[in-house]
């Protein structure tokens, strides 16, 4: 099997990181939408440890875990497109640290905003805003987290932008009000084709969220 | 050692804040040793964290923290990648020449911290049926590593890194040497040589290396420490 195949789910922020990276590098690939309620044999055999998307299959060899895939794309196609990770080792370490922070924090408290109620919901909301404000200090006055160039940390966080409307609606708050710099950064990222062509409609994401809530019996 | 004498040569550019019992600290110490890098070591009392630690790792407040020209790098795996990125003229810890193998090193390192580590911690903390379930989980994870050694990309190698150890050996190894200690203290069988022959052989070979022996705390010190922590969990009645 040659070529590049991506096993993914349209609303997954983790899958979006990979789609954006492949677009940045100009790599052609076959997209396969996975039904997460009924995982395909291919997914289970390509990622037997976690059985999760995204999985990038390059010439028959599977690469799993979104941030690992993004780094793989940068290294395997180092001669194509822009470098996704910073060249400077210290900046690289910082980018890795904050991407790891996004991984550990954003998805978790975002999910808790819509899954929980009452005090737990308020706590999740507060944590989400606090984490975003922290990321704002990391961004500072730079156009992108990568500085002048859009890079690894931008790619790690921007996919969550299509979930912002859902978090805001479920949590009754405005991310633009709480974190204006992040909102501006989102707009800047969306000017890039790799981002604007990849991110799904936030309203569609919210529809999907409402479907999930029904399925989990929430509210 | 801590402290600077008068008229001493300028402080080395590398400083490591760590804890003697932390496998994450050991990862960095081993990585620095393999790269032939000298550094000043500062032992942290984790029950009374130093201002330096809190200043340099305000987000997680954890060891290890590497200071390079006083700039902090945190998270053991990030530190290992950092020293490999800076000192490219020395023995590489990561397989930079092979992006696919590099992705596997990252994947299995993630698996250790995400799955195996917490499962082993659970065995240590729990008793009775809950502990049995945790032991089963550890066995499941070890089986995945065993399968990878037998049939996967690293098949037939002395170590994950090849003839010598690399980053993945460091991550799996610094942590796995706790397993025999926990087996004794928690009275469970984790690394059954019959069930996991390749993993068992790999671990023995890893622990036998001079570089590793120089980093690992003495077995009786580990045993004493583990014994104390186990007692703590048992008296908690959890």
Residues B115 and B192: beta-carbon distance below 8 Å? no
Measured between alpha carbons, how far is A194 from A26 in angstroms, rounded to an integer?
A: 9
CB contact under 8 A, B100 and A90: no
Sequence-ordered list of residues with C-beta below 8 angstroms from that of A88, at least 6 positions apart, any chain: none
Confidence (pLDDT) at B178: 87
| A76 has a chain B CB within 8 A of its CB | yes
CB contact under 8 A, B79 and A69: no
Residues of B in contact with A137 (CB under 8 A): none
Q: Which residue of B has its CA nearest to A48?
A: B144
- Residue B137 pLDDT > 70, yes or no? yes
ipTM of the complex: 0.96
- Tell me the CA distances in angstroms from A160 to A95, A195, B179, B219, one per residue in order: 17, 12, 39, 46
Q: In chain B, what's the furthest Cα-to-Cα distance?
A: 61
| B100 has a chain A CB within 8 A of its CB | yes
Alpha helices, H only, A77-160: 89-115, 118-139, 152-157
Q: Are strands B14-18 and B40-43 parallel, antiparallel or unpaired?
A: parallel
Residues of B in contact with A89 (CB under 8 A): 82, 85-86
Confidence (pLDDT) at B134: 95
Residues of A in contact with B102 (CB under 8 A): 71-72, 75
Residues of B in contact with A107 (CB under 8 A): none
Number of Cβ within a 10 Å radius of residue B104: 24
Phi-psi region of A65 (alpha: psi -120 to 50; beta: other; left: phi over 0): left
Q: Which of residues 141-170 of B touch A (CB under 8 A)?
A: 144
Confidence (pLDDT) at A18: 98
Across the range B178-200, mean pLDDT stands at 93
pLDDT level of residue B10 (50, 70, 90 thresholds): low
What is the value of pTM for the model shown?
0.94
Name which of A131-140, B128-137, B177-186 the model is least confident about: B177-186
| B78 has a chain A CB within 8 A of its CB | yes
- Residue B237 pLDDT > 70, yes or no? no
| B66 has a chain A CB within 8 A of its CB | no
């Amino acid at each position: 099997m040659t070529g590049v195949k991506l096993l993914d789910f349209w609303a997954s922020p983790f899958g979006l990181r990979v789609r954006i990276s492949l677009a940045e590098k100009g790599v052609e690939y076959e997209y396969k939408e996975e039904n997460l309620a009924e995982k395909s044999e291919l997914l289970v055999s390509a990622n037997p440890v976690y059985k999760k998307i995204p999985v990038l299959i390059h010439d028959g060899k599977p690469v799993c875990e979104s941030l690992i895939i993004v780094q793989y794309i940068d290294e395997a196609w180092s001669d194509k497109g822009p470098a996704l990770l910073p060249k400077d080792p210290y900046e690289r370490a910082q980018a890795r640290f904050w991407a790891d922070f996004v991984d550990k924090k954003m998805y978790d408290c975002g999910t808790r905003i819509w899954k929980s109620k009452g005090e737990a919901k308020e706590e999740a909301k507060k944590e989400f805003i606090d984490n975003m404000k922290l990321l704002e200090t990391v961004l500072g006055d730079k156009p992108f987290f990568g500085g002048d160039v859009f890079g690894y940390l931008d790619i790690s966080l921007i996919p969550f932008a299509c979930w912002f409307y859902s978090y805001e609606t479920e949590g009754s708050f405005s991310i633009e009000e709480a974190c204006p710099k992040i909102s501006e950064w989102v707009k800047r990222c969306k000017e890039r084709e790799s981002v604007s062509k990849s991110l799904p409609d936030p309203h569609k994401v919210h529809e999907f969220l409402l479907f999930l809530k029904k399925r989990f019996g929430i509210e | 050692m801590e402290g600077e004498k008068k008229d001493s040569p300028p402080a080395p550019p590398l400083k490591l804040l760590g804890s003697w019992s932390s496998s994450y600290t050991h990862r960095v110490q081993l990585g620095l040793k393999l790269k032939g890098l000298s550094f000043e070591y500062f032992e942290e009392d984790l029950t009374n964290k130093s201002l330096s630690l809190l200043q340099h790792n305000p987000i997680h407040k954890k060891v290890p923290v590497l200071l390079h020209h006083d700039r902090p790098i945190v998270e053991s795996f990030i530190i290992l990648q950092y020293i490999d990125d800076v000192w490219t003229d020395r023995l590489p810890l990561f397989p930079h020449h092979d992006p696919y193998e590099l992705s596997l090193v990252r994947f299995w390192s993630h698996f250790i911290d995400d799955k195996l580590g917490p499962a082993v911690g659970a065995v240590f903390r729990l008793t009775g049926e809950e502990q049995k379930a945790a032991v089963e989980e550890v066995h499941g994870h070890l089986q995945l590593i065993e399968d990878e050694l037998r049939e996967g990309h690293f098949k037939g190698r002395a170590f994950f890194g090849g003839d010598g150890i690399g980053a993945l050996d460091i991550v799996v190894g610094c942590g796995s040497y706790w397993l025999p200690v926990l087996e004794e203290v928690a009275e469970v069988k984790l690394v059954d040589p019959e069930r996991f022959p390749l993993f068992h052989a790999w671990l023995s070979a890893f622990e036998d290396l001079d570089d590793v022996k120089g980093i690992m705390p003495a077995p009786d010190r580990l045993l004493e420490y583990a014994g104390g922590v186990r007692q703590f969990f048992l008296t908690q009645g959890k």
